[in-house]
């Protein structure tokens, strides 16, 4: 067996092959062309581990590593840099550091999703891109109307069918260039909405209503079909998380903690997480915050109101998101529906 490490960039990869005992065998800069990675690995011992950091273009490199009958090891880039503890940073030092971590058995690896999941994720992640673009476009239109004192109060949804009819009439009051630009924004909004609708229809055809999807969308508060699919695709295998706390941390619903002496401070939610799961649970928490008075007896509604009084809206939604993440962990692990703590029955024999 040999130890192989890659430091990959947009146009090339620096590869280093070493023996298990640390002897240097070869180092090569590989230009990014399909087949070149596989060709390089063809001269190495089959079954050797190949460390590659979680960079933007690791999908196709990972495929070629597997085709060359090697064992890919996807590395948590930030943790690896910390563990290397090097002041200087070069490509050569990076590949040497990755092999050193492999040799000592301390390489911080992450889960590698199967090809099928990697492909399906593009639907939900692409929808998120279009959704963000839709929000920005709507905000721009709202801002333009506010600049010129146009306030449409006849409808609750300005971008619904009736709202759009009123909006197209009202923008005629704007100056000529502003009117032209706003019409372009409305056309862009219509196009983006079309992209989102087509992706959602494809998702409905592609993702059958499995037991997990049904459990999440029917019982977990704030979660519908779209969010349930996002959660399941990003989670993959729930058993890779040893506890609900670990899963909540991975999903970005736990705050950063600073504790010294007798003082403990909780900051914002952590940034080095799976941002797609963080978005999903945050969206569910937003939905609960907006509609908490519709079902005030639910635990999530009570939790939101309790934290809201003491720490404000953002931290209240963060607390709800964490509760949902931990509940989701148990639901997927036990394959059970959500059990609302507010309605949990108490056994008389246990008091």
How does pLDDT run across 272-286, given as a tens digit for each residue? Answer: 789 999 999 999 999
Last-in-domain residue among 171, 188, 206:
206
pLDDT for 21: 84
242 has pLDDT over 80: yes
Residues whose CB is less than 8 angstroms from the CB of residue 71 and which lie 6 or more positions away in sequence, other chains included: 47, 48, 49, 50, 65
Rounded to whole angstroms, what are the CA distances from 307 to 125, 297, 316, 346? 31, 16, 5, 25
Domain check: are 251 and 329 in the same one? yes
Judge whether 348 lies within some domain.
no
Judge whether 109 lies within some domain.
no
The whole-number average pLDDT for the span 10-30 is 89
Domain check: are 100 and 121 in the same one? no
Q: How confident is the model at residue 351 (pLDDT cuts 50, 70, 90)?
A: very low
**How far does CA 87 lie from the centroid of its chain?**
31
How many domains, the chain?
A: 3
Query: At residue 65, what are phi and psi to the nearest 5 degrees?
Result: -65, -45
Judge whether 62 lies within some domain.
yes
Domain check: are 245 and 329 in the same one? yes
pLDDT for 290: 92
Domain check: are 225 and 334 in the same one? yes
Nearest 5 degrees, angle CA 154-CA 285-CA 343? 110
pLDDT for 263: 80
DSSP H or E stretch at residue 2: strand 2-8
348 has pLDDT over 50: no
In contact, 14 and 29? CB cutoff 8 Å: yes
Judge whether 351 lies within some domain.
no
Domain check: are 200 and 234 in the same one? no
Judge whether 144 lies within some domain.
yes
> What's the CATH number where 87 sits?
3.30.420.40
* 225 CB neighbour count, 10 Å cutoff: 17
Domain check: are 21 and 52 in the same one? yes
CA distance 217 to 337: 10
Domain check: are 59 and 135 in the same one? no
Nearest 5 degrees, angle CA 244-CA 245-CA 248? 85
The whole-number average pLDDT for the span 41-49 is 90
289 has pLDDT over 50: yes
Nearest 5 degrees, angle CA 106-CA 234-CA 105? 10
Judge whether 349 lies within some domain.
no
350 has pLDDT over 90: no
The whole-number average pLDDT for the span 189-211 is 91
**Closest to 213 measured CA to CA, from 232, 239, 193:** 232
In contact, 328 and 217? CB cutoff 8 Å: no
65-111 pLDDT, tens digit each: 999 999 999 998 888 888 888 888 888 999 999 999 999 999 999 88
**Closest to 56 measured CA to CA, from 72, 71, 37, 77:** 77
Domain check: are 131 and 20 in the same one? no
DSSP for 153-218, please give it.
Answer: -S-S-TTSHHHHHHHHHHGGGS-HHHHHHHHHHHHHHHHHHHHHHHHHHHHHHHS---HHHHHHHH
Q: How confident is the model at residue 41 (pLDDT cuts 50, 70, 90)?
A: very high
Q: Which domain holds residue 39?
A: 2-104
Domain check: are 138 and 215 in the same one? no
345 has pLDDT over 60: no
Domain check: are 315 and 232 in the same one? yes
133-171 pLDDT, tens digit each: 999 999 999 999 999 988 888 888 888 889 888 998 888
Angle, helix 225-235 to helix 115-147, in steps of 10 degrees: 130
Last-in-domain residue among 104, 127, 159:
104
Strand partners, 7: 14
* 283 CB neighbour count, 10 Å cutoff: 19
Domain check: are 147 and 255 in the same one? no
CA distance 317 to 312: 9
pLDDT for 258: 79
Last-in-domain residue among 104, 132, 165:
104
Domain check: are 322 and 218 in the same one? yes
């Amino acid at each position: 067996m040999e130890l192989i490490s890659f430091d990959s960039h947009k146009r090339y990869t620096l590869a280093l092959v070493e023996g298990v005992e640390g002897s240097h065998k070869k180092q090569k800069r590989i230009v990014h062309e399909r087949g070149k990675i596989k060709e390089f690995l063809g001269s190495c011992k089959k079954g050797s581990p190949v460390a590659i950091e979680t960079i933007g273009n690791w999908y196709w490199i990972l495929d070629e590593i597997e085709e060359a009958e090697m064992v890919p090891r996807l590395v948590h880039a930030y943790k690896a840099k910390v563990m290397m503890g090097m002041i200087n940073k070069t490509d050569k030092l990076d590949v040497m550091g990755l092999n050193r971590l492999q040799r000592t058995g301390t390489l911080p690896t992450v889960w590698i999703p199967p090809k099928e999941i990697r492909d399906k994720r593009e639907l939900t992640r692409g929808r998120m891109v279009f959704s963000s673009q839709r929000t920005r476009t709507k905000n721009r239109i709202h801002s333009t109307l506010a600049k010129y004192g146009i306030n449409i109060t006849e409808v609750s949804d300005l971008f619904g069918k009736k709202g759009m009819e009123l909006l197209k009439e009202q923008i005629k009051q704007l100056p000529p260039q502003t009117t032209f630009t706003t019409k372009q924004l409305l056309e862009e909004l219509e196009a983006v909405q079309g992209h989102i609708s087509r992706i959602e229809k494809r998702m409905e055809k592609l993702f059958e209503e499995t037991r997990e999807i049904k459990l999440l969308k029917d019982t977990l508060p704030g979660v519908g079909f779209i969010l349930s699919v996002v959660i399941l695709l990003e989670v993959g295998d729930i058993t890779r998380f040893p506890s609900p706390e670990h899963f909540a941390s991975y999903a970005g619903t736990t705050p950063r903690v600073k504790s010294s002496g007798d003082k403990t401070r909780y900051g914002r939610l952590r940034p080095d997480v799976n941002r797609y799961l963080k978005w999903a649970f945050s969206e569910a928490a937003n939905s609960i915050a907006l509609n908490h008075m519709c079902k005030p007896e639910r635990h999530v509604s009570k939790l939101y109101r309790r934290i809201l009084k003491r720490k404000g809206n953002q931290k209240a939604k963060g607390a709800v998101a964490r509760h949902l993440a931990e509940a989701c962990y148990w639901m997927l692990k036990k394959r059970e529906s959500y059990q609302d703590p507010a309605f949990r029955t108490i056994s008389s024999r246990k008091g």
